[in-house]
Chain A
């Protein structure tokens, strides 16, 4: 379908340009949106190009945190000296995603809002509640290797494909949004939704809501973090399971722990139950196992992805073991 193309000089006019249309999309790097235009998954009347907006800076905040502009390219964010030094979990998550020549185009905002790689969602010839509400879910009873084991519904079992978002979930990132009603801040862990009975809604955003930046709070001194991604080939593949872990151990005791999981749910999955079990416990393997087992007690694997339960357990334990070893 043909569409109108507009460029916005500032965030306010981008939102204004996107308001009042039935079908509208912001264009950033295009690496997901243009793919979907070609596949016929979406057919907006208007594209509002936001790559010219002054949102392409990474800024150090007075409190020691970091503000990441929505149009900062994934490659530039991963190469940023402060991200490499203070937020290795984020640098590693970015570097494990897509390819070098995609990361040079992909942006912060676009990465967060990329849509599921569920093969049925991407295939117009199959029923899919996310693409066409009410038509049914082809994955249930079908090919589910890449689908969810946590928080899914009878309407959709898709997973969110982003690596970057998983790291940001573990970092307690805050997303700044500009909408027709003004500015607001959405915690990253509340940006994406669980499918419930409205799987066509990936996030809490309205079509004319523009992500302007993502803030990372500072990490206390002594905090370590890492990203571990398990996939079907060593590079250029989406995660089967991934773990973003942030840990601070003092005198052998867990003082702070934050765990987010990728590849297991419709959103970056913050493992709060595991974190609750671990806090103030000895930083040892027995506690790590107990913690992730508490989280995975709620897992509901499908026919084709039962392997994700032990895979997640092992990936989390090994990530925490590595982080605790670094800070004895």
Chain B
């Protein structure tokens, strides 16, 4: 069974017809041709498929495309403003926060989401005071980024990049 949906992907309106079983990840990659989000595990466990959906970081491999008609999606490829990279992207380059780069689009989108969540004062599992302001310590970064696995183990520099990206 099919459904017609419209998505705004990296600033461009896209209409597409999808089988109801299609995940948002497959719709983006195969339907729209937006290949920045990657299919790592396809079961919610690795974070490689992370995008910003209506402004919030989400995995896309367990979301159904038909359920997100009208949504605004920003992938890692849509974060730059013209030739100017997003500060988080700059920081990933500066800090060498990648090796093969497969997890990177997901890491970058997740990091952008993390910085918004911290700016909004949302606590994490390691925040000592649930009602106080949040300080972006390395422990906070590690906890908040734990949904993004890196097969190459670039974690140390990823933490550096997220810290820099906040400035």
Contacts and interface: CB of A to CB of B under 8 A. Distances in A.
**A and B from one assembly?**
yes
Interface of A: 2-5, 27, 29-31, 34-35, 37-38, 47, 49, 51, 75, 78-79, 81, 84-85, 88, 91-92, 95-96, 98-102, 104-105, 234-236
B113 to A, nearest CB: 7
B3 A101 contact: no
A44 to B, nearest CB: 11
B18 to A, nearest CB: 10
Nearest to B109: A101
Query: Of B19, B53, B147, which is in contact with the most chain A CB atoms at under 10 Å from its CB?
Result: B147
Given A34-B23, A91-B130, A102-B62, 15 more contacts: A31-B62, A34-B62, A34-B63, A35-B43, A47-B64, A49-B67, A75-B117, A79-B123, A85-B131, A99-B147, A101-B57, A101-B110, A101-B147, A105-B58, A235-B142
Given A27-B67, A30-B63, A101 B19 contact: no
B62 A105 contact: yes
B42 interface: yes
A313 to B, nearest CB: 23
B135 interface: no
B34 interface: no
A101 B59 contact: yes
Interface of B: 1, 3, 19-21, 23, 42-44, 47, 50, 53, 56-59, 62-64, 66-67, 110, 113-114, 117, 120, 122-125, 130-131, 142-144, 146-148
Contacts of B57: 100-101, 104
19 contacts: A3-B20, A4-B20, A30-B67, A31-B62, A34-B64, A47-B64, A78-B123, A85-B131, A91-B123, A95-B124, A95-B125, A99-B47, A99-B59, A100-B113, A101-B58, A101-B110, A102-B147, A104-B58, A105-B62
Nearest to A236: B146
